[in-house]
Amino acid sequence: MVICPVCDAEIDVEEDELEEEDTLTCDECGADLHVVSVEPLALEPLEEEDEDEEASDFDDEDEEDENWK
């Protein structure tokens, strides 16, 4: 069992099957988690910057479209 660092819920996964850089999702809170270390086991929430960057890319495209009108 692994403990979610966001909501402290137990995540049903075998600790010995995890490797660094693996990702998993907490069934309780839905947080996407990143394995940063296996000994000792350490999880961190995934950064949401990628989603923000993608959203800003779409915003830029919208602005360009408006300039063409």
The pTM of this model reads: 0.63
Quote the Cα angle for 9-10-16, to 5°: 145
Q: Which two tokens stand for residue 44?
A: 């961190």
pLDDT by 10s per residue, the chain, length 69: 889 999 999 999 998 899 999 999 999 999 999 999 999 999 999 986 544 445 555 555 555 555 565
Give domain limits for the chain: 2-68
CATH class of 2-68: mainly beta
How far apart, in Å, are the Cα atoms of 67 and each of 36, 56, 57, 60? 44, 17, 16, 11
